[in-house]
């Protein structure tokens, strides 16, 4: 599923949602969002294409409930060229996987990911 870009608030904050099905034995459905200046990251992609999405994981608490978001910063299409630019979001890579790659986040952090999650 690939939603149209939605605009919120008086300042025009934009957000778009893509649901990716993994190649796991039972196929997990994972909602990934692109927001703000990256809201056009999913432009040019279609339902059924095999992609790899790199995400940042974020969480927050609101009124005693906890929420987790997967925020896309790069998307790759099988057989293309890698890019994390919102204007050139189509890129190449391994098909059908969703990855939370912390080696190069949207904040420019290029530290090596050792596999440990700090919680």
- 24-42 pLDDT, tens digit per residue, is 888 899 999 999 989 899 9
Q: What is the mean pLDDT of residues 51-61?
A: 93
Q: Look at 6-10, 69-73, 84-88, 91-95 and tell me which has the smallest mean pLDDT.
A: 91-95
pTM: 0.62
Report helix, strand or coil for 75: strand
- Per-residue DSSP letters for 9-52? TTTTEEEEEEEEE--STT--EEEEEEEGGGTTTTTT--TT--EE
- Structural domains in the chain, sorted by start: 6-99 (2.40.50)
């Amino acid at each position: 599923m690939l939603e149209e870009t939605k605009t919120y608030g008086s300042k025009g904050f934009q957000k778009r949602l893509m649901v990716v099905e993994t190649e796991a034995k039972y196929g997990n459905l994972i909602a990934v969002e692109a927001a703000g200046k990256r809201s056009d990251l999913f432009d040019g992609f279609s339902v059924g294409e095999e992609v790899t999405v790199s995400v940042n994981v974020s969480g927050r608490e609101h009124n005693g409930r906890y929420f987790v978001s997967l925020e896309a910063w790069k998307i790759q299409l099988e057989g293309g060229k890698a890019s994390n630019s919102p204007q050139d979001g189509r890129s190449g890579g391994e098909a059908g996987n969703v990855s939370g790659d912390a080696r190069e986040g949207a904040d420019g952090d290029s530290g090596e990911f050792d596999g440990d999650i700090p919680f």
